[in-house]
Amino acid sequence: MLRKLRYFPYFAIAVLISSCGEKKEEQKALPPLEVQVIPASTQDVSLYADYVGQTMGESDVEVTSRVDGWVQSLNYQEGGDVKAGQLLYTIDELPFQNKLDQARGGLAEAKTLLEKARADLARIEPLAAMNAVSQRELVAAQAQFGAAQGRVQSAEAAVRNANIELGYTRIKAPISGMIGISKVRVGDYVGASRMILNTISQIRTVRARFTMAENDLFRLYRMNKAKGNATLNRDVEMILSDGSVFPQRGVINFADRQVDPSTGALTIDASFPNPDRMLRPGLYVKVRLLIEKRDSALLIPQKAIAELQGQKQVFVIGDSNKVSMKLIQTGPKYGRYTIVESGLVPGEKVVIGGTALLRNGMVVVPKALDPKDSTALDIPEN
């Protein structure tokens, strides 16, 4: 019995070696890996970029009160249209009417004193010419007359100012447009400390304000300069929050004076016709802008690109269906494709997907991509 146990380890080792050999033979017998390939091709492309922006009216004017007081009436339909000069609010005018009456009384008193000073001067001037009175009295009369004239001018200014303040109790629309919901009601106390009562917007034309990264700005300028136009005045497209495209094309109005140093972005303002008044201020939208055109750009699917330690690489099929790995430099994305700056030449067959199983020199069975397979180029989500 002990003799049999002594030979058992050798038997087990022999069985294990035999099993490994069979597995190696099975691996050698596996057929070559089948991979999908697509040739790197050239195409003229137009590169667009989307920027998140917010809409505002062509003019958004805040309605404020210039005087303090109690709101007595609202004289418009909230959310409706108003015309320039239309009465919007009235504020209790009694304190301002009293102030105007007081200023008018002061003016009447000043005019009376002016007439007295004029009469005194007219009486003294002939006497001073005959040396019947001293020059000192003449100078005093002249000074009183001048001071009386100044008091009249001051009183007249006080009347005008009181009249203006009284007019401020009737708040009128500064522009024509659509007015919003009032922030105050009848009986509320309002002040002249920049308290916003409402806002009027002109929305026949709507502006969209967005920010553009400085790199995109350079690309846009270079493209326009190549066409002999170094400005930003070009048409743009608006994408609404539901994914639909706004039917009206817009134009860029202006760009800010400087790039924001904290974000590296430039604020840009574009305007869009809004004849149906579909757009309202405050919407979040995407502004789509053509920023670059490339002739004969070399394209490969994004799915064919693998990244390792910051380097982009692809596998291509060479002679005898052998796989070789190439490092490439990539440019902007174009839909499901990426522009290749260097590392590939047109016509090379690029492997799509499954690159983790590939090694240099491996023989594979290339299979051309079926044009009807729309999902073959989709990048799987992590």
Q: Which residues 6+ apart lie within 8 Å of 201 measured at CB?
A: 56, 57, 58, 59, 60, 61, 177, 178, 180, 280, 281
CB atoms within 10 A of CB 200: 24
Q: Can you give the pLDDT at residue 83?
A: 97
Most confident residue range from 7-21, 224-238, 244-258: 244-258
> Which range in 16-30, 34-48, 357-371 is most confidently predicted, on average pLDDT?
34-48
pLDDT of residue 381: 47
Number of helices (H), then strands (E), belonging to the chain: the values are 4, 19
Task: Give the domains, in start order, of the chain with CATH numbers.
Answer: 48-58+201-294 (2.40.30.170), 66-89+173-194 (no CATH), 93-168 (1.10.287)
pLDDT surpassing 60 at residue 29: no
Determine the 3-state secondary structure of 293 from DSSP. Answer: strand
First vs last Cα of the chain: how many Å apart?
A: 60
Looking at residue 103, the DSSP 8-state letter turns out to be H
pLDDT at 245 over 90: yes
Reported residue count of the chain is: 382
Spell out the alpha helix ranges (H) of the chain: 2-28, 94-129, 135-167, 214-226
Mean pLDDT of 340-353: 90
Dihedral sign (CA 91, 95, 96, 101): positive
176 pLDDT higher than 90:
yes
